[in-house]
Amino acid sequence: MIQPVDAIGPEIAGGIRGVFFDIDDTFTLEGRIPGASFSALWDLWERDITAVPITGRPAGWCDHIARMWPVAGVVGENGAFYFRHDPVNRRLERRFFIEPEEMLANRRRLRDIADEILHKVPGSALASDQEYRLFDVAIDFTEDVPPLPRESIDRICDIFAEHGVTYKVSSIHVNGWFGDYDKLNMTKTFAREVLGVDLEAERDRYLFVGDSPNDEPMFSFFPHGVGVANVKAFLDRMTHPPAYITERPGGEGFSELIGLILARRGE
């Protein structure tokens, strides 16, 4: 049963060591980062509470995020890699799920499949951030194109499936890739290799915040999975919904959650 986020009490809040969170329409609102959500991220940083974005966005964006945001690192392209910036040695550490040679071959195949999708699904387009991606192809259905109906989104998914492509639907794109990775697998790897944490044993000490079907593996795994209010639009497509839902959407919901957690920790 999904509960309002206010159901997270002091006992749960006091045990939280970190927050994993999606970016688009979870940390952002209407395509931008609200001041309130970025301030909430700094509030976590200043209290030594780990924060890690877990996103479908591309490697080019994640380089910037790892270097310049107050985060411990970032998992990108739906789990294809993590990046972490080492400020002492002034070095960006990168961990990939797939070897570079296989990645290049996959990219060529995926672009052919993307061309088929663009031909068969009128109104769809390559995501505007596609040129910054290493591992997947992203088909835009609402970010920089007029919103497509659900039938068109389903057709995009069907074409990916016909070619044996793994795919996930976010709030703005359908992402497709070859490989059995996802957000959760790379998040576990990041936690083990960077944070020194076994998430299987400590999953109740971390929050995950998301908004769409591609966050389902995370909602399924974390007992304290939180959906921002706009996740309600996708609940009928989800087998594993979040445990809690905020009152407000997007980045405002993210800020609402972090403010509540810190208040109930007495911080």
Which tens digit of pLDDT belongs to each residue from 143-190?
999 999 999 999 999 999 999 999 999 999 999 999 999 999 999 999
Taking 90 as the threshold, does the pLDDT of residue 102 lie above it? no
Taking 80 as the threshold, does the pLDDT of residue 247 lie above it? yes
Mean per-residue pLDDT for 126-151?
97
pLDDT of amino acid 244: 98
Average pLDDT, the chain: 96
From edge to edge, which strands make up the β-sheet containing 81-86? 74-76, 81-86, 91-96
Q: What is the DSSP string of 187-225?
A: HHHHIIIII---HHHHGGGEEEEE-SGGGHHHHHH-TTE
Mean per-residue pLDDT for 73-81?
97
End-to-end CA distance of the chain: 29
pLDDT of amino acid 4: 98
Looking at the chain, the whole-number percentage of residues with pLDDT higher than 70 is: 100
pLDDT of amino acid 104: 85
Could you tell me the domains of the chain? Answer: 3-55+181-264 (3.40.50.1000), 100-177 (3.90.1070.10)
Handedness of CA 35, 226, 233, 22 (dihedral sign): positive
pLDDT of amino acid 182: 92
pLDDT of amino acid 267: 82
Q: Please answer whether residues 201 and 158 qualify as being in contact, where contact means their C-beta atoms are separated by less than 8 angstroms.
A: no
At 261, which helix (H) or strand (E)? helix 250-264
